[in-house]
Amino acid sequence: MAEQQPSRLQIYSTSSTGVSPFWREKYEREAKKYWDVFYKRHQDRFFKDRHYLDKEWGHYFSVGCGAGNTIFPLVATYPDIFVHACDFSPRAVDLVKTHKDFTENRVSAFVCDLTVDDLSEHISPSSVDIITMIFVLSAVSPEKMPLVLQNIRKVIKPNGYVLFRDYATGDLAQERFSCKDQKISENFYVRGDGTRAFYFSDEFLTSLFKENGFDVEELGFCCKQVENRSREIVMNRRWLQAVFHSSDGLKSSYTESAFKFDLCQGNVEPISSSRNSDQLCRSEENSAKELANDFEVDMSEGMAFEMFGISHSSDEIIEVDAGNWNFKIKVLSKEYQHTCKSTGLMLWESARLMASVLAQNPTVVAGKRVLELGCGCGGICSMVSARSADFVVSTDGDAKALDMLAENVASNLQKPFLDKLITKRLEWGNRDHIEAIKELNDEGFEVIIGTDVTYIPEAILPLFATAKELISSNRDAREIWKPALILCHVLRRVDEPSILSAASKFGFRLVDKWPTSIPTSSSQSIISSWFLEKSSEECIPTTALNIMYFHSE
């Protein structure tokens, strides 16, 4: 039969529909939990202390105090002020209370969800001179932002002021989010760690505060260029900073200069109706001199690691036992997996099962040429195979997964096994990639393995088409063995009949499956023989797993 020309396709979804309703509701419902995990992970090391204010007042209220990076510079500078501080992360409040400069006669810290809890139960009404909202309101759903502002109006003095700084539309982080499925709603996104960020336009911010009883005293954009010298890239950061005063009281006699708190080291321009706000951002003069290696940027970005080229913080090491072998595998940490577009940066249960099967039954690959399709960053099936196989090629279509795979292989395998395993990029249906694999082994592969590679319907035909081109055409003269394609998976969006239909189109015949075996004249099935030992049964991580064993006709 004539082979179909497979289309080029990644095995993970490329949709850009944004966050699903299920996850949108989950992020809203569990917002406190995600921020609590954030502070558990980073403690007080993530944010820089904020030396923003240059005038002493009486009572401050730090909304969304975090680990206290705004509070303690104030307390250290002004000995007579009193600061109220709240956060809806209990862990963040604990960090404030355990800070070396915390004293109850200077700081009152408490847990509070400003969208639900009544502030006047913690702070006397109309008693606060200055409220700081520094990278806080962006973490709140836009539809609930009015609740926050109505809440703080209860405790601010009639002539009190709100000092505000937060993300602006057009910021580099927003541009990065726009390229991924992390959009919740207009200008509202979820980070990889589950925390959220809203990006404000000057029009939205002005309208929001005005509709909730605040007038604009000062409003401007702040722009910075941050240079990552190691990666030779310059990144544009963009914020809005503003001063608001309560509109139901007399305007304070404090001069305007009192509110020019230095958030951007001088690069702030007021909003003017005669100028487009997008034109307000400009590079600082002599920026080349100012972009030093020790340049500090105050930012509450869970994505900061990726933006600044530091990815190790979002990884974790997991231990995998496969037979007598123990592997330490670097994967994307669980808190980042739910928004990661590539499924190849995590380790699936099917890979654990097949690695254990191969470790307990080395004859499956012994002396053979082995190809693993869609192995992801773990590559544990390939590494187990390398101990008894003649030659192993471990492939994936995701470049990031391959980079992590190379690290895992290098850290877990020693010579001579290391010399037998090659990692290679392979997008199913990509002609150039297929030819590159053939150059490594022009005889084809006697065993092809795929674990959890059948979950995208559009990828099934390219999967079997690619396997057909790369499987060996050689046969044992006595028909004791034939080249085999082994798939292990949990059936998700693609059912078994669809898999079998695609397989038959490219000449693959199912000869055995597990846990329900195919009736055969043999005394026992191929796959069942892999689980004869009790230790093999103990390695099964979930009863939902299936194994399908194909021969190529």
pLDDT in tens, 97-139: 888 888 888 888 899 898 999 999 999 999 988 888 888 899 8
Question: Do 211 and 321 share a domain, yes or no?
Answer: no
How many separate domains does the chain show? 2
Sign of CA dihedral 388, 391, 397, 400: positive
Question: Do 240 and 387 share a domain, yes or no?
Answer: no
Q: Is the pLDDT of residue 544 over 80?
A: no
Q: Which residue has the higher pLDDT, 543 or 170?
A: 170
- Cα separation, 255 vs 55, in Å, equals 11
Name every residue whose Cβ is closer than 8 Å to that of residue 476 and which is 6 or more positions away in sequence: 482
In a domain, 296, yes or no: no
Question: Do 331 and 195 share a domain, yes or no?
Answer: no
pLDDT band at 24 (very low <50, low <70, confident <90, very high): low
Tell me the pLDDT of the chain averaged across its residues. 76
pLDDT score recorded for residue 171? 83
In a domain, 15, yes or no: no
In a domain, 538, yes or no: yes
Select from 468, 332, 519 the least CA-distant residue to 408: 332
In a domain, 9, yes or no: no
pLDDT score recorded for residue 5? 47
- In degrees and rounded to multiples of 5, residue 145 shows phi and psi of -60, -40
- Cα separation, 506 vs 468, in Å, equals 6
pLDDT score recorded for residue 262? 37
Question: Do 505 and 407 share a domain, yes or no?
Answer: yes
Residue 259 DSSP code: G
pLDDT band at 58 (very low <50, low <70, confident <90, very high): very low
- Cα separation, 493 vs 249, in Å, equals 60
pLDDT score recorded for residue 393? 96
pLDDT score recorded for residue 513? 92
pLDDT score recorded for residue 282? 36
In a domain, 425, yes or no: yes
In a domain, 279, yes or no: no
Q: Which CATH number belongs to the domain containing residue 137 in this structure?
A: 3.40.50.150
- Cα separation, 483 vs 468, in Å, equals 11
The gap between the terminal CA atoms of the chain, to the nearest Å, is 11
pLDDT band at 43 (very low <50, low <70, confident <90, very high): very low
| Burial grade of 297 (CB within 10 A; 0-12, 13-18, 19 or more) | middle
In a domain, 301, yes or no: no
pLDDT score recorded for residue 60? 64
pLDDT score recorded for residue 297? 32
Task: Give the length of the chain.
Answer: 553
pLDDT in tens, 292-339: 233 333 333 333 333 333 334 467 888 888 888 889 998 877 655 555
Question: Do 543 and 398 share a domain, yes or no?
Answer: yes
pLDDT band at 143 (very low <50, low <70, confident <90, very high): very high
Residue 445 DSSP code: B
Strand 369-373 with 447-451, pairing: parallel
Where in 72-178 does DSSP place strands (E)?
82-87, 107-111, 128-134, 156-167
Question: Do 200 and 59 share a domain, yes or no?
Answer: yes
pLDDT score recorded for residue 62? 73
pLDDT score recorded for residue 234? 63
Question: Do 83 and 211 share a domain, yes or no?
Answer: yes
Q: Which residue has the higher pLDDT, 315 or 148?
A: 148
pLDDT score recorded for residue 545? 86
pLDDT band at 49 (very low <50, low <70, confident <90, very high): very low
Question: Do 449 and 535 share a domain, yes or no?
Answer: yes
Question: Do 154 and 214 share a domain, yes or no?
Answer: yes
Select from 460, 546, 471 the least CA-distant residue to 501: 460
pLDDT score recorded for residue 227? 62
- In degrees and rounded to multiples of 5, residue 44 shows phi and psi of -105, 20
pLDDT band at 68 (very low <50, low <70, confident <90, very high): confident
Q: Is the pLDDT of residue 434 over 50?
A: yes
Percent of the chain with pLDDT over 70: 69
Question: Do 263 and 339 share a domain, yes or no?
Answer: no
Q: Is the pLDDT of residue 93 over 90?
A: no
Question: Do 327 and 244 share a domain, yes or no?
Answer: no
Question: Do 324 and 221 share a domain, yes or no?
Answer: no
Where in 38-121 does DSSP place strands (E)?
59-63, 82-87, 107-111
Which of 211, 237, 269 terminates a domain? The answer is 269
The residue range of the domain holding 73 is 21-248+255-269
pLDDT in tens, 477-511: 555 678 999 999 988 778 899 999 999 999 999 99
pLDDT in tens, 204-250: 999 999 999 999 988 888 777 666 555 556 667 788 888 998 876 54
- Cα separation, 473 vs 461, in Å, equals 20
pLDDT band at 519 (very low <50, low <70, confident <90, very high): low
In the block, which residue shows the tokens 């490329």?
A: 14
